[in-house]
DNA sequence: TTGGATGCAAATGTTTTGCAGAACT
DNA sequence: AGTTCTGCAAAACATTTGCATCCAA
């Protein structure tokens, strides 16, 4: 069953390694596997915890280096929120933006081809070549606004 | 001439201080003044440099604390880019988003009421209350793409 | 006089780097 | 054999905090 997760990503990584004359390693594969299984928006610390359940000997440094590698290979993207970096798988995923709840930290994804299109238009106008973007909308999710309302109005 | 910069912002700060029973200080005024004059997107380190030209005795810590205060008072907004926080004046400025050039670091602003509207619509749909957003488009500005092309095609 | 504000130094938390040994090609 | 990779410890950063002192109200 392990082999059914992220087949394609593993190939992408392997190709990247060959192309750049880098070497394979068991650690990288374990980390990639954990990263892909973890779902989205993991921090380094979280990923380290997950990985170490399988292989307790893997070091924090290797997580950092692997995530950087995954980014370079186009497999991961980084989003910084609240003082620490978080990463999410990038491969084969629709492009999307993020709603981030400032109370519970939950991240909701959304996408809007319309927004993408507008961006492109503006970029063309100023001669800017888009390579990526980070669109984070900050606020309160339904759950947290409801909870706050139930708790009574806030004093100012 | 000094008194003609940021009159309104100074009033906003003063009002905030009174409302929260905080005290005025020469440092804060010097920092606010420098912040407003500095133009946009200053880092703590840059602002410290600017402020110290006028008052060499101001400490880094005070810059941090003042910028936090300005944020709380609604005078500044923070955007994290490249591992360090940057701040820009918020008061009386149109809301805008950012194009950031990955080569020269230049930041171009743009705004799109259309994008704002789309965001609002989506937020309403998922029950999310928007408090702010960070929309950073990363890429290459016209100057840098031209320079790169002139330098000849890149080898891969 | 009281409590907030400041600046230094120390602490914190995250990410990077130096290095010796292990692993890969 | 020759590199790259790894993990530890140390270093490097950006940011925050403790504290004695200063200053505004």
Q: What pLDDT, on the 0 to 100 scale, is given for residue A101? A: 84
pLDDT (mean) for A45-61? 96
Q: What pLDDT, on the 0 to 100 scale, is given for residue B131? A: 84
Q: What pLDDT, on the 0 to 100 scale, is given for residue A106? A: 81
The owner of tokens 């380094």 is A44
Helices A60-72 and A44-54: crossing angle in degrees, nearest 10, is 110
Please state the pTM of the whole predicted model: 0.80
**What token pair was written down for B107?**
């930041």
Where does CATH 1.10.10.10 sit in chain A? Answer: 1-91
pLDDT (mean) for B58-78? 96
Which nucleotides on strand D sit less than 7 A from a protein beta carbon?
3-9, 13-18, 23-25
Q: Which one is the CATH code of B94-156: 3.40.50.12710, 3.40.50.1100, 3.30.420.40, 3.30.1490.190?
A: 3.30.1490.190
pLDDT (mean) for B61-65? 98
pLDDT at A59 over 80: yes
pLDDT (mean) for A91-97? 83
Fold of B1-91: Arc Repressor Mutant, subunit A (1.10.10)
The whole-chain average pLDDT of chain B stands at 87
Quick one: how far is CA A105 from the chain centroid?
14
Where does CATH 3.30.1490.190 sit in chain B? Answer: 94-156
Look at residues B121, B134, B125, B119 and name the one whose alpha carbon lies nearest to residue A142.
Answer: B125
Tell me the backbone φ, ψ of residue B155, rounded to 5 degrees: -85, 150
Q: For B16-33, what is each residue's pLDDT tens digit?
A: 999 999 999 999 999 999
CA atom of B85 to C1′ atom of D16, Å: 14
Answer for the pair B17, B23: CB distance below 8 angstroms, yes or no: yes
pLDDT at B97 over 80: yes
Residue A113's CB is within 10 A of a number of other CB atoms, namely 9
The CA distance from A104 to B21, in Å, is 30
B110–A133 CB contact, under 8 Å = no
The whole-chain average pLDDT of chain A stands at 87
**What token pair was written down for A21?**
């004359």
Q: What pLDDT, on the 0 to 100 scale, is given for residue A155? A: 37
CA atom of A66 to C1′ atom of D8, Å: 17
Quickly state the pLDDT bin for B155 (edges 50, 70, 90).
Answer: very low
**What token pair was written down for A154?**
């806030």
Look at residues B89, B13, B147, B71 and name the one whose alpha carbon lies nearest to residue A138.
Answer: B71
């Amino acid at each position: 069953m392990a082999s059914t997760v992220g087949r394609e990503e593993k190939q992408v990584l392997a190709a990247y390694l060959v192309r750049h004359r880098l070497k394979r390693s068991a650690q990288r594969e374990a980390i990639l596997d954990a990263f892909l299984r973890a779902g989205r928006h993991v921090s380094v610390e979280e990923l380290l915890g997950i990985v170490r359940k399988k292989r307790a000997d893997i070091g924090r440094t290797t997580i950092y280096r692997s995530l950087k590698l995954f980014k370079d290979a186009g497999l991961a993207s980084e989003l910084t929120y609240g003082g620490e970096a978080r990463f999410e798988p990038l491969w084969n995923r629709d492009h999307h933006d993020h709603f981030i709840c400032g109370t519970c930290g939950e991240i909701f994804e959304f996408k809007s081809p319309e927004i993408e299109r507008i961006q492109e238009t503006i970029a063309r106008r100023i001669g800017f070549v888009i390579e990526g973007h980070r669109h984070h909308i900050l606020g309160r999710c339904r759950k947290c606004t409801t909870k706050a309302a139930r708790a009574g109005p806030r004093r100012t």
